[in-house]
A and B are shown apart, each in its own frame.
Chain A
Amino acid sequence: MPKNTSIRSVLIIGSGPIVIGQACEFDYSGSQAVRSLKEEGIEVILINSNPATIMTDPAMADAVYLKPLEKKYIVEILEKHDIDAVLPTMGGQTALNLAIDCEKAGIWEKYGVKIIGVDIHAVETTEDREKFRLCMKALGAHVCEGRTATSFLEGKKIAQEIGFPLVIRPSYTLGGTGGAFVNHPEDFNEALKNGLTASPIHEVLVEQSIMGWKEFELELLRDSIGNVIIICTIENFDPMGIHTGDSITVAPAMTLSDKQYQTMRNLAIKCMNGIGQFAGGCNIQFAMHPETEEIIVIEINPRVSRSSALASKATGYPIAKIAAKLALGYNLDELQNQITGSTSAYFEPTIDYVIVKVPRWNFDKFKGADVSLGLQMKAVGEAMGIGRNFQEALQKACQSLENRRNGLGADGKELNDQQKILYSLEHPSSDRVFHIKDAFRLGISFKTIKKLTQIDDWFLHQIEDLVFFEKKLQSHSIDTIPAEILSEAKKKGYADRQIAHLLRCLESQVHQKRISFGIKRVFKLVDTCAAEFEAKTPYYYSTFDTHLSQSTNFTEAQLNESNQKSNKKKVIVLGSGPNRIGQGIEFDYSCVHGVLAAKEAGYETIMINCNPETVSTDFDIADKLYFEPIFWEHIYDIIQHEKPEGVIVQLGGQTALKLAEKLDRYGIKIIGTTFKSLDLAEDRGRFSSLLKELDIPYPQFGSVKTAEEALVLAKDLGFPLLVRPSYVLGGQSMKIVLNEEELEEHVVKVLNDLPENNILLDHFLDKAIEAEADAICDGEDVYVIGIMEHIEPAGIHSGDSNAMLPPFSLSPLLIEQIEVYTRKIALALNTVGLINIQFAIKNNKVYIIEANPRASRTVPFICKAYQEPYIKAATKVMLGDKKVKDFTFEPIKKGYAIKIPVFSFNKFPNVNKELGPEMKSTGEAIYFIENLQDEYFQQLHNDRNLYLSM
């Protein structure tokens, strides 16, 4: 069936602020959906309160509402626009829940809006555990034994019937919030209470536990005439018992025979058809008993998801884009495979590489949190590695984590305590995969490791093999190592740095050696079809498949699919890596804008990133996408291959910025602000001297290396003091201390966590007002984009404060002072591009807290509030394509925009919720008010002193 012509305008609901369990994957799917519908000439209206998203860019939809995801705003939109249909499947569970609310309130019916992309009954069936169970049973699909309880007594009764082990799953919660495994009857009461409280309708499912079963996910697409395809099968490395968002996952499925897989495929299609006849995407999770091979349906999500984003990046198949077209009535066979550009969209991708996704946790931010992994998702982000084998993909994913390791072990940071390792294998937390390798290295038996982890033998053998291989490698030195073994190491994904550690030599020696052997990275294409057809989309990953010249007579051009020839000047944009607290979607937003601006300026753009959830890793954003770790070796090899004019590091947050020093050392041009200036801004001593020269006040400070020195310095500076290590992200390990005792304790702790780091002590300006300014500078002129005033007093990390654009309490004189200082500093630092400066205002005096010559978390917010593409302008300035004076900005300044931080504390029940200089929020929302009489603002303002902890 061709397009349904009765649909001319569509409302897309976004997913709101980033929280654990619902992250930037929905910006990716939402952006794809908007573009996909626009291609069809549909008028697209969008609602999302998350300002740091590409989907809410004015250039995307026809009308964008940066409003809270609530019924009343939906009504407001429907009053204003004549909307034919709503597509609620692109914004996660938040959007589906809002769509259900509106349905129940009769809103869609009243305004004649059709729901597309899903069937509302299907959502109810999949979310209501009891309905789901009955529906699956009717289809002949096995589900876990269990029943729902709406009261404590009822729950107890069910538990008695089923017996232990049990699992408790609350209805209608995100990422499994409030769920728990209960192995012993004595733990049951508390778990049941928690579950009932977590569910908004106070309903839980008490169910048979299938811990240790193998876990799989299938991503399906169906069109309106019932054609169904499976885009990807994802196998969990971690068996049942760990939320899939917290599991290491692998595609394609590694351990399924064809008969097992086809049984699962048939079941998946039956289940999708069984919950409702809608055209769109669907994710189905299965558990399989490792011995009996019995298959159980775990859950169904009738929408795009984190896994569908992963599946899209893993296969190249743009699920959300196609799902949006299917919602309009197209059939799959009427659409084209956009990667090959020549074959049909009705097909099932086949891949000739392996992807491994490793979650990224941020437990260091949630002191006191239960760090064990279970039913409730706790990861804040994820990284994906692509390799020609599982080991390479796993190593690459680990190299992408930025966890101060160089991949999976082989870095001198291994755990050697047998008891701790055994505990970690049985009680999984963020580093279990590292400890599995440590266990093999220590000689703990395969049988024990298997028993404790219940991970499939094949995966365990892969890790065991790495340990065997390392032993073989270590019997050589850098001088004696044969080419075959070095080549094998690279094929297994080892970084030069890891090999150097094992061979007891320098990274540069390993690099030299392998180049002398002709062992070079080659780049291969993600093409959906295992090279069966020619593909046109430049989406690459690196590998070491065939590189030894004597092992084939194929030419390099035959082995390397990335053709580096180009008539245009090239520029590389370094991405921001996996999401973390303080390193979130804002930086992906900036990277995407950087790429688009460089394209407009006539450059061939090259994106490097390893975060599968993002818009930046969509294959049609940059001219070329390298899905690679933001890890020196990979970046350097891409630079060697592409020979770009330079590299943009100031858009990808700390992840990208951290590489500036090495780029500079290797003589690679950094586009915009030079490394010297970046370094000057980071170096407190030199930066303060600069401020002194400029006659700009700053809080008294000093730098120390020991607790002893800290106590001496504290006498000069006076308490309270702000203590922090230099070069960290999102205020990591920052603390305000009030006395010597606290000071000593914190300094010792920081030195323990981050040995040999410099520690900075600042006199803390108690009860000061905090403000920050963002600006663009070309070295000659400075344009101040905006100034935001924090509602809470100084001391709470800027990412965790409510902030107002423009300032609400600062006098014109102070604002002018801030602008003058911003200009002075930007010029003094020779900034070319963006700069963010943080101020503290006390007793009508403006102090500089810090300056960051790079894209900040707040720039995207200001872009949205003022509706001006500042990052694009800044990128053109960086490239030297434009000067600041070439731009005439016309920001829309109406009332105020409040930046509201959003936290995910509900995932960590025992964590201290007080705020301080260390950032804890996972996302943000934008809220516009007309004037200061606004009730919401008044409330925030009244409560401003409640949260700061000291």
Chain B
Amino acid sequence: MKPNTALLLEDGSFFLGHSIGKIGTTTGELCFNTGMTGYQEIYTDPSYFGQIIINTVAHVGNYGTIAEDNESKQVQIAGMVCNQFSTNYSRPQATHSLQQYFENAQLVGISGIDTRALVQHIRNKGSMNAIISSETIHKEALAEQLAKTPNMKGLELASKVSTTESYLLGDEATAKYRIAVLDLGIKRNILLNFVERGAVCKVFPAQTSFEEMKKWQPNGFFISNGPGDPAPMDYATQTVKTILDANLPLFGICLGHQILAQAVGVNTFKMHNGHRGLNHPVKNIITGRCEITSQNHGFGVVREDIERNTQVEITHLNLNDGSIEGIRIRNKKAFSVQYHPESSPGPHDSRYLFDDFMAML
């Protein structure tokens, strides 16, 4: 098969491969995920909004797709790059092949790429924008279009993926706890983890104020994961500040963790190439126990700021690079983690954090 699709990176790196999904052109920030399972969950995770995902696992699509593996209403990634793309799948329960699924989602992807060489390149140079096209493989034309793609740094994306109307999940009549969720791009499984533990969640649009949410009389607040740079998200940071001032229970995941840090004066930064995978080692320095975590973030909280900040206590650290994975606010009922304890996809080692939060309510 002659290559019919091109991948061009911001720095001029160029690859030819084969078309997957829809015939078309797409741009986004190129980053890699090292997980070996859970592609469908990754593609529907709103935190990946605007990003082109390289799956490092050798084969993608082997077990097809199934509705219950969706983490949100639609495919959120901007594009997909892989080595081997399976058009056949074997799982009897699956309803669509990944190709059909991508076509339905109008997603553009490329296969037959030496993903390993590509990952090493971004590992060294840092994440960067890229363009995939199965419409033209003409390098100059692609470069022109790629130049128009905005840089992820300084980009506010949460409001683009957040719900526009608030909605309920769980049974309001029987639930023991009421959790107000600030949706910055939430994954379905986070909500399910609350509901499983006897809570009802009301999910609010990203720009909802504390007062608005308070009307629903929640026992606690949850600040969700989501895409983009936390720095320009003053609206959410402000909301979290008021929750802290009211001394109400608060739990944040990923972007929610970064927002909590910003609310107590800690800065965030764009990482060299982020953490995306299902095998990131984290140590809970309170208990001494370790957990294998699912991660997906391109921004982090500044460790030096936290060490100087008397309000913040570090609870979790990354064993590979020593980065901050979890914090709690002294004298407040607020804590957050950088990784994804709902872990869909990924190991379930960290789900105790949901129990911890329920215990606070």
Contact = CB atoms under 8 A, between A and B. Distances in A.
Contacts of A550: 16
Given A258-B37, A346-B319, A530-B116, A332 B13 contact: no
Given A531-B123, A559-B117, A257 B63 contact: yes
A350 B319 contact: no
Contacts of A342: 320
Contacts of A389: 58-59, 83-84
Contacts of A461: 88, 90
Given A257-B37, A530-B56, A533-B320, A350 B279 contact: yes
B156 to A, nearest CB: 28
Interface in A357-404: 388-390
A347 B279 contact: yes
A456 interface: yes
Contacts of B86: 458
Question: SS class of chain A's interface: helix, strand, loop or mixed?
Answer: loop
B126 interface: no
B62 A254 contact: yes
Interface in A498-552: 524, 529-534, 545-546, 550-552
Given A255-B63, A347-B292, A553-B12, A524 B281 contact: no
Contacts of B89: 457-458
B176 interface: no
Interface in B227-279: 277-279
A237 to B, nearest CB: 12
Interface in A229-243: 229-230
A255 B2 contact: no
A346 B91 contact: no
A254 B347 CA distance: 17
A531 B119 contact: yes
B346 A532 contact: no
Contact of A229 (B56, B277, B292, B346): B292
Interface stretch (A111-119, A259-267, A618-626, A821-829): A259-267
A532 B31 CA distance: 11
A457 B59 contact: no
Given A346-B319, A350-B278, A546-B15, A551 B66 contact: no
A25 to B, nearest CB: 24
Question: SS class of chain B's interface: helix, strand, loop or mixed?
Answer: loop
A297 B119 CA distance: 37
B277 A350 contact: yes
B116 A524 contact: yes
Nearest to B58: A354
Given A347-B319, A546-B114, A333 B290 contact: yes
A554 interface: yes
A870 to B, nearest CB: 42
Given A262-B347, A552-B14, 13 more contacts: A225-B289, A257-B66, A259-B68, A344-B281, A346-B281, A347-B292, A347-B320, A350-B56, A350-B279, A352-B83, A389-B83, A484-B3, A554-B121
Contact of A291 (B32, B41, B92): B92
A488 interface: yes
A843 interface: no
Interface string A10-50: 00000000000000000000000000000000000000000
Contacts of A229: 292
From A225, A331, A350, residue with most partner B Cβ within 10 Å: A350
A352 B292 contact: no
B331 interface: no
Contacts of A532: 32, 34, 56, 119, 123, 277
Given A332-B290, A546-B15, A554 B117 contact: yes
From A524, A530, A551, residue with most partner B Cβ within 10 Å: A530
Nearest to A266: B348
Contacts of B34: 350, 352, 529-530, 532
Contact of A554 (B3, B13, B37): B13
A68 interface: no
Contact of B119 (A291, A351, A530, A553): A530
Nearest to B68: A259
A347 B37 CA distance: 16
Contacts of B121: 554, 558
Contacts of B66: 257
A349 interface: yes
B53 to A, nearest CB: 13
Contacts of A256: 37, 63
Interface in B69-121: 69, 83-84, 86, 88-93, 113-117, 119-121
B187 interface: no
Interface string B12-25: 11111100000000
Contacts of B90: 255, 456-459, 461
A478 B34 CA distance: 39
A530 B117 CA distance: 10
Contacts of A252: 36, 57
8 contacts: A262-B343, A262-B345, A265-B348, A352-B56, A388-B116, A529-B279, A531-B116, A533-B320
A106 to B, nearest CB: 36
A348 B90 CA distance: 26
B316 interface: no
From A531, A533, A551, residue with most partner B Cβ within 10 Å: A531
Contacts of A349: 279
Given A532-B123, A545-B116, A552-B114, A259 B69 contact: yes
Contacts of B117: 545-546, 552, 554, 558-559
A619 to B, nearest CB: 18
Contacts of A891: none
A261 B3 contact: no
From B14, B56, B119, residue with most partner A Cβ within 10 Å: B56
A188 B34 CA distance: 49
Contacts of A226: 289
B283 interface: yes
A348 B293 CA distance: 10
B170 interface: no
B16 A551 contact: yes
Contact of B59 (A230, A257, A350, A354): A354
B280 interface: yes
A227 interface: yes
Interface string A742-785: 00000000000000000000000000000000000000000000
A357 to B, nearest CB: 16
Contacts of B289: 225-227
B83 A257 contact: no
Contacts of B91: 255, 257
Nearest to B321: A343
A204 B34 CA distance: 44
Interface in A286-313: 290-291, 293
A261 B91 CA distance: 13
B1 interface: yes
Contacts of B58: 351-354, 388-390
A229 B348 CA distance: 12
Interface in A319-355: 331-333, 342-344, 346-354
From B88, B120, B343, residue with most partner A Cβ within 10 Å: B120
A709 B150 CA distance: 84
Interface string A210-235: 00000000000000011101100000
B182 to A, nearest CB: 26
B332 to A, nearest CB: 28
Contacts of B345: 258, 262
B188 to A, nearest CB: 13
A552 B34 CA distance: 22
Contacts of A261: 37
Contacts of A458: 62-63, 86, 88-90
B356 to A, nearest CB: 18
Contact of A254 (B59, B116, B344): B59
B293 to A, nearest CB: 10
A252 B116 CA distance: 16
